[in-house]
Amino acid sequence: MLAAGWAMSVPSLAQVGPSPAEAAGYQGLHAAAQRGDAAQIAVLAAGGANLNARDGNGRTPLHVATFARQRDAIRALAKAGAAMDLLESDRYDAVTIASVAGDEETLRLLLSLGASAKQVTSRYDGTALIAAAHLGHDGVVRQLIAAGAPLDHVNNLHWTAVIESIVLGNGGARHQATLKALVDAGANLQITDRQGNTPLSLARSRGYNEMAKMLEQRGAR
């Protein structure tokens, strides 16, 4: 099992939104996306601006708008034809950015505009669902499941969304709700971590009694 200190450092290694200095230096579509200027996005798009231009970290205007929670800008970019599923340099897409932020409204918008919940993202070869389960964003998890996110994807740490809801959670109400959403959706409860531990054994070893009970009731071993 990975050391607890390392495991809890995973979020800090994750996404990097634009810094204040980067945001202040943006021009064109990136600047319009950052400030949520839908009208300017439409003007620039009509003038032939590259809708999928990249900043120094590979972020497109859509990534920038998602980090900034600028939903009018997201709508304008989608209407103009921006690609919805590109990855930035750290291999995050807009769906995973919104999911990690627990930004349910922006996620709902992205999915309604055709963004995918099924991509493999991040340096961990994970998914938006795994990232949201890790953080106990149960509302996000339910949205992603409804959008067809792969329930049983195994990342390069050899963890599924079910496993991450346990090993990177705190056993509290939100992680319990996350696990319940995954269990109710039919996630595989027998996939083990790299050491051969099942989700049930992981929950028991951490003293997460409610999670263990939930898994036992679903026939997990």
> Which tens digit of pLDDT belongs to each residue from 78-89?
999 999 999 999
pLDDT tens series, the chain, 221 aa: 333 333 444 443 468 899 999 999 999 999 999 999 999 999 999 999 999 999 999 999 999 999 999 999 999 999 999 999 999 999 999 999 999 999 999 999 999 999 999 999 999 999 999 999 999 999 999 999 999 999 999 999 999 999 999 999 999 999 999 999 999 999 999 999 999 999 999 999 999 999 999 999 988 87
Q: What are the structure tokens assigned to 183, written together?
A: 């269990």
Q: Which domains does the chain have, with CATH numbers?
A: 29-83 (1.25.40.20)
Alpha carbon 1 to its chain's center: 24
pLDDT digits (tens, 9 = 90+) for 147-194: 999 999 999 999 999 999 999 999 999 999 999 999 999 999 999 999
DSSP H helices in the chain: 4-8, 20-25, 28-35, 38-46, 61-67, 71-80, 94-100, 104-112, 128-135, 138-146, 161-167, 173-184, 199-205, 209-217
